[in-house]
């Protein structure tokens, strides 16, 4: 029996970049993690299906017939059903791991089996590569990426690669198949685990996101598919304890709860707040649960960030959000500076413990 099982979701789409990336990621996993099996759930049948079916004895291809819309959550559920290990490692078909990430995965198996941790992200850095950089990396070269995201930025990254016990996947009812395409399905899975099983843990490692042509991200994030996904995610975050139990027991679907909470105006997924006379601040409330009672304030927003990501992330959030607003009042700037100072002290105290 393998020590752990790697699962991937794949839809070909007649895209040569995705094919190249898929086999590069497969080869990397086979090379760095010899004590594993790989289960790939492919949506439909493609010119690569036969190759995948006979590519390596440690690789198993599962075909899922599921129309033309990419259904990643269903693919992952079907892949996990066909694994033979108690530990599941999800790797996106365009996520190329370095040696440190592979070591974190191997070490993470023991951490998960010891209990107390719900989900592990075996990386603390990501590079989103250009086409030229991807060719360089896959050709054996080194990367010095200007598209790099390091350190605390990774607090918001819940995809690419993660690992958990198969029993955890079963406990939270797997991935919600009401999600389509991409966006918020990874966040939702993580929130369910944190709420029912145990906290997340991030360990050292690095992921290179391999280049492939992208959809118009700005347009997609305003599409009905993406906004539906965000509302499904927000529903998990704001579900009452009673509804959460009923949802896990499959007595009510997440879609039914979205309808219920929509009628109660509990699923606004974007907070748009006129922070100054000329500046509008937009916050994704599926990430941060902000208490609207008594009005929105800078402190309320920072309290929500502190609760979700901890004190160490506050300086980065302030730099990315508030420092970009040119016309904050002196009082607002003092409120932010005071909060920053307190967050730094809390972060230092946390490092000492």
What does each of the 353 residues of the chain score in pLDDT, given as a tens digit?
679 999 999 998 888 899 999 999 999 999 999 999 999 999 999 999 999 999 999 999 999 998 888 999 999 999 999 999 999 999 999 999 999 999 999 999 999 999 989 999 999 888 888 898 899 999 988 877 655 554 444 556 788 999 999 999 999 999 999 998 888 899 899 999 999 998 888 899 999 999 888 766 677 777 888 888 888 998 988 889 999 999 999 999 988 999 998 888 788 888 888 999 999 988 888 878 776 667 889 999 999 888 888 888 899 889 888 998 989 999 999 999 999 999 999 988 865 44
**Of the candidates 153, 23, 141, 162, which has an alpha carbon nearest to the alpha carbon of residue 93?**
23
Q: What is the pLDDT of residue 150?
A: 47
Q: Sort 189 into a burial class: Cβ within 10 Å, 0-12 / 13-18 / 19+.
A: buried
Q: Judge whether 300 and 290 are in contact, CB under 8 Å.
A: yes
- 111: enclosing H helix or E strand: helix 99-114
SS3 at position 55: coil
What is the number of alpha carbons within 13 Å of residue 107 lying toward its C-beta? 14
- Locate 126 and state its tokens: 């990501």
Quote the pLDDT of residue 353.
40
Instruction: List all residues 6 or more positions away from 330 whose beta carbon is below 8 Å from its beta carbon.
Output: none
Q: Please answer whether residues 37 and 6 qualify as being in contact, where contact means their C-beta atoms are separated by less than 8 angstroms.
A: yes
- The Cα 186–Cα 3 span in angstroms is 24
Gap between the Cα atoms of 53 and 236, Å rounded: 37
Spatial separation of the C-alpha atoms in residues 76 and 81, rounded to whole Å: 9
CA distance 151 to 256: 38
Beta carbons of 96 and 140 less than 8 angstroms apart: no
Cα angle 261-181-24, degrees, rounded to a multiple of 5: 140
Two tokens, residue 186: 């990874």
Model confidence, pTM = 0.86
Q: Judging by beta carbons within 10 Å of its beta carbon (0-12, 13-18, 19+), is residue 140 exposed, middle or buried?
A: exposed
Cα 132 from Cα 129, distance rounded (Å): 8
Tokens standing for 285? 């409330």
The two structure tokens encoding residue 48? 């690569």
Contact 90, 163 (CB under 8 A): yes
Whose structure tokens read 């200007």?
Answer: 146
Contact 194, 237 (CB under 8 A): no
Residue 121's pLDDT is 94
* DSSP annotation string for 304-338: HHHHHH-GGGHHHHIIIIITT-TT--HHHHHHHHH
* Residue 241: C-alpha distances to residues 39, 107, 195, 235 (Å): 34, 34, 10, 12
């Amino acid at each position: 029996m393998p020590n752990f099982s790697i699962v991937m979701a794949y839809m070909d789409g007649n895209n040569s970049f995705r094919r190249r990336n898929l086999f590069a990621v497969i080869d990397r996993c086979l090379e760095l993690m010899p004590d594993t099996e790989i289960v790939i759930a492919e949506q439909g049948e493609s010119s690569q299906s036969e190759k995948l079916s006979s590519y390596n004895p440690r690789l198993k291809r599962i075909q899922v017939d599921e129309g033309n819309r990419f259904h990643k959550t269903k693919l992952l559920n079907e892949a996990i059903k066909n694994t033979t290990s108690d530990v599941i490692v999800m790797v996106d078909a365009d996520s190329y791991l370095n040696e440190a990430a592979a070591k974190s995965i191997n070490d993470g198996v023991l951490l998960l089996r010891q209990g107390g941790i719900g989900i592990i992200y075996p990386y603390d850095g990501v590079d989103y590569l250009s086409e030229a950089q991807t060719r360089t990396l896959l050709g054996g070269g080194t990367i010095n990426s200007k598209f790099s995201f390091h350190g605390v930025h990774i607090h918001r990254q819940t995809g690419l690669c993660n690992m958990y016990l198969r029993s955890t996947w079963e406990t939270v009812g797997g991935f919600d198949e009401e999600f389509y395409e991409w966006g918020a399905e990874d966040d939702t899975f993580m929130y369910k685990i944190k709420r029912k099983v145990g906290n997340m843990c991030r360990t050292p490692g690095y992921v290179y996101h391999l280049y492939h042509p992208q959809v118009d991200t700005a347009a997609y994030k305003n599409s009905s598919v993406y906004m539906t996904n965000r509302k499904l995610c927000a529903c998990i975050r704001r579900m009452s304890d009673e509804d959460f139990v009923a949802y896990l027991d499959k007595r009510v679907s997440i879609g039914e709860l979205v309808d219920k909470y929509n009628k109660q105006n509990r699923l606004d997924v974007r907070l748009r707040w006129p922070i100054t006379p000329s500046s509008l601040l937009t916050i994704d409330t599926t990430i941060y649960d902000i208490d609207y009672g008594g009005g929105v304030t800078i402190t309320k927003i920072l309290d929500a960030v502190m609760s979700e990501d901890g004190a160490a992330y506050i300086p980065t959030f302030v730099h990315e959000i508030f420092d970009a607003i040119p016309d904050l009042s002196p009082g607002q700037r003092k409120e932010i500076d005071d909060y920053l100072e307190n967050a730094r002290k809390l972060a230092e105290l946390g490092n000492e413990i």
